[in-house]
Amino acid sequence: MSDAAERAEVVAGATLIADEALLRAELDVARATVRLGCARSELVAEGVVATNLLGPWDGAAGVVEWARVVAVEAGETCVELRVRFATVPRHYRLVAKRVALRRVSASPPRTSA
């Protein structure tokens, strides 16, 4: 992830994800990395220093209602997110040194004829 691309999208007050199906959640404690794969985007946090996300994810269906940047300061970014599962919504927070959002193409790959 390039610092320029991260900072262009990840600013305090920005909503990174809104109303997207949660397809996967990966928490790699050894590498201090969190990846949230959603229907149209992937949120990647590297250098995670604090979070209340627990792993491993059990594969439960959910929707990321929102993921917002709460603060960016001193080389760290704080993101809050709310995930609605079938039974109850959950509120999570993470603080990481690098946070990036990648958009996922909804269209199928093109093939040449």
Separation of alpha carbons 53 and 82, rounded Å: 11
Whether the pLDDT of residue 107 is over 90: the answer is no
Query: Furthest-apart CA pair in the chain: how many Å?
Result: 52
Predicted pLDDT at 112: 56
Q: Is residue 110 part of a domain?
A: no
Separation of alpha carbons 22 and 86, rounded Å: 12
Q: Is residue 92 part of a domain?
A: yes
Predicted pLDDT at 103: 86
Burial of 108 (0-12, 13-18, 19+ CB in 10 A): exposed
Number of Cβ within a 10 Å radius of residue 31: 10
- Range of 49's domain? 3-103
Separation of alpha carbons 56 and 26, rounded Å: 7
Tokens at 47, concatenated = 């250098």
Give residue-wise pLDDT tens across range 61-106: 899 999 999 999 989 999 999 999 887 789 899 999 999 998 886 5
Q: Is residue 109 part of a domain?
A: no
Predicted pLDDT at 74: 87
Q: Is the peptide bond before 108 cis (omega within 30 degrees of 0)?
A: no
The arithmetic mean of pLDDT across residues 5-9, rounded, is 46
Separation of alpha carbons 86 and 63, rounded Å: 9
Q: Is 28 helix (H, G, I), strand (E, B) or coil?
A: strand
Q: Is residue 41 part of a domain?
A: yes
Q: Is residue 75 part of a domain?
A: yes
Q: Is residue 112 part of a domain?
A: no
Q: Is residue 113 part of a domain?
A: no
What's the domain count of the chain?
1
Give residue-wise pLDDT tens across range 18-66: 999 999 999 999 999 999 999 999 999 999 999 998 766 788 889 999 9
Confidence tier at 7 by pLDDT (50, 70, 90)? very low
Predicted pLDDT at 61: 84
Q: Is residue 108 part of a domain?
A: no
